Amino acid sequence: MAFDGIVTKAIASELQELTGARIDKIFQPNKNNILLGFYLDGSNYLLNICTDAQNYRIHLTTHPKPNPKMALGFCMVLRKHLTRASH
């Protein structure tokens, strides 16, 4: 599926729910996935970003993935710069 204007508009509409949210958790279950945890008005949201060439996607989810005991380097950089940031 092409990542065209229709898909981009659908993603933008879904992510409008996160306006004003604060990033409070960042996980990287594997080298192709990033999970960003958002907090807004007493609710938690989890944004799944997958950069796999065959299965790329970005969406809100309620299904957390198991994480490694040691965070990968890119995950640590994201945590350093994004934790407690507001969207």
Domains of the chain, CATH where assigned: 5-82 (2.30.310.10)
Best CA proximity match to 74, nearest among 39, 42, 43, 30: 30
Helices (H), the chain: 5-15, 73-82
- Report residue 83 CA to chain centroid gap: 12
Q: What is the pLDDT of residue 55?
A: 86
Q: Which long-range contacts (CB under 8 A, 24 or more apart) does 65-68 make?
A: 65/27, 65/29, 65/33, 65/35, 66/29, 67/27, 67/28, 67/29, 68/29
Residue appearing with tokens 């007493």: 42
| Residue with the larger pLDDT of the pair 2 and 11 | 11
This prediction has a pTM of: 0.82
Could you read off the pLDDT of 40-86 as tens digits, one per residue? 999 889 999 999 988 888 889 888 788 888 888 898 999 888 877 65
Could you read off the pLDDT of 9-53 as tens digits, one per residue? 988 998 898 899 999 889 999 899 999 999 999 988 999 999 998
Q: What is the pLDDT of residue 85?
A: 66
